[in-house]
Structure 1
Amino acid sequence: MWEPVWASWFSRCLVLIISAHTSAVSSEGDLRPCDKTDYYYQYTECDGTGSRWRVAIPHNPGSCSDLPPPTRGTDCSFSCLAGKFLEMSTQQCTPCVAGSYSLGSGLRFDQWDAIPAGFTSLASFLDAGPNGEDIQACNSSSWTPQGVYLESNRDECTVSLVYAVHLEKQGSVSFTYQYPDNNIFFEFYVQNEQCQEMAQTDDQKWIKVTNNGEWDTHTVSLKSGTNILYWRTTGILVGGKMVKPVLLRNIQIEGVAYTSECFPCRPGWFSPNPGSSSCEPCPSNTYSVKGASSCTSCPEHHYSHEGWAECKVRPPCSEKDYFQIHTACDSEGKVSRTRTFHVSSTLTPFTLTRT
């Protein structure tokens, strides 16, 4: 009960201490006045009335003087609409620029070159051996980033992907997944800040198996307050056969208080207009870099598929790429044998006719 109040007063006291220290140093060293590049704004913790303060935090305390004074912040339940972010200097909702997007009161994780900040992968063994050797074997077991998705473990270890988020209002979490092998257990559950598991139905906790190569989406409602999210997998090796891993992508969380920045579109995607709530994949034979507002055509003799971040060299055609057809007889009783190449973005199609 006292922690939020304590955190709120601690944040305010910290700002006052920093301001006092800056003023003291200024009087001794005659420091220059701070400009906008010397500090950033941050909200204090919400108090019991749902109020908070906006304070200026110096990047390097003592390097300048006259920080802006604390200002009453927006209400703790305030959030911007999708496509906008909260500009902290004005405390106004501002449209995202082209090449970026915002969910307003949500978070989205769709780039998996590395496990994003805030996520943790924890491994254990359900039935450890007498000497703990199984626990040691699981130390290297983990969810693994693969660029556009996360891949689960393939062994008999139990591996949990964990993410904690604080919601100011009721929200939800949804994620897209592939789960083609029921020889691996895949469950999703939520705990509160006391590490107590929230009530869920079996359909919410145990994830439905998908067909091979098929993506499905799972959505669970979340309560306001702290929610600790767990994606947990455990492999069951039958006859030494390796299991197919679970693939996870596009995690989206709704109900956060606000976002103070827009997210750039990932490579291969773009948003052409300001105020976008999502990005679009680049069409075939085009590509884009991170944060693009448009896609660039591939160079001559190159190709790409939808959503690619780069183009590849178009390989030469071979006999495997065409089939033969014969036309009807003409007035001279002759037929044409035609080699028709499959239409493909990876090949340069053309037709060769012989009589």
Structure 2
Amino acid sequence: MMTRPTVLVTRRWPAAVEAVLSERYDTVLNTCDVPLSPAEIRRALKTFDAVLPTVTDRLDAEALDVPDARTRILANFGYGYAHICEPAARQRGLTVTNTPDNPSECTADFAMMLLLMAGRRACEGERNLRAGNWSRWCPDHLIGTRVSGKTLGIIGFGNAGQELARRAYHGFGMRIVVQDEERIDPAILEQVDATQAKDVDDLLPLCDFVSLHCAEARSNEPLIGARRLNLMKADAFLINTARGDLVDEAALVHALIFETIGGAALDVFVREPRINADLLNCDNLVLLPHLGGATRENREAMGFRVLENLSDFFDGRDPRDRVI
């Protein structure tokens, strides 16, 4: 009987996915659910045929410095793979896959929720009520911003950005302005009566809400820093469900404290799970712990997509979601 491939799962995954992994492969689960250290990752690369990481695993050049690695594939659970050092992976001849499509609808739902929460001051209201500070209804209590009919700017018009545009346009009658590095098919823009801005600087002054859906900044500087925050309307809101390093958090704190923008909502952070303490002091900021794709349906779909990539690889086919 042929020996089954050995597989390490670096974090806890949905039980249904872990069960199928254990049926198909000699699988080791990280039952303590703590991210692996570089030394533990190096040991894993010497021990297992496949390692299944997530964004919480830093597979940098140090962690991948294993000349005699047994691992041949890093089957990543998630869309982003910037936590995997591409030059080191290529040097070791590692195949790297991701799960590119599954989170789009859930992320769009979540971004729309954050947009509404920020505009209508939902978190402030809940904190007010839970603290026992709500004494009566009055006409000027926690006045928010109407969402319907406002202009939404979407930076990064891939699957998640397009899904958000559909929700905002068809559900709330919002005007849609988008920006993307690529020229967008006019037929796609027409579905939500959207216009494509030339660049981010052109988009920002037009919008009441700005939602980030791009994979990463094209330079070492954050996409949204002090200069671009100053281009936004004084009552506009910034929403980020994409990547923490797209936003200069110190500049955002300054804009929120001095109210040069209306507010913001963040689901991702530069050094998560550590949060910039100054962010916690901004009342006009919605903070959530990276929950954009956190639905049972989505997490299971992501896990089973990893299984498809593993099956392709071990059966001698090029995995459908190969990125390296």
Name the structure with the higher strand share: 1
Q: TM-score range by the shorter chain?
A: under 0.3
TM-score by length of 2: 0.27
Name the structure with the higher helix share: 2
Larger radius of gyration: 1
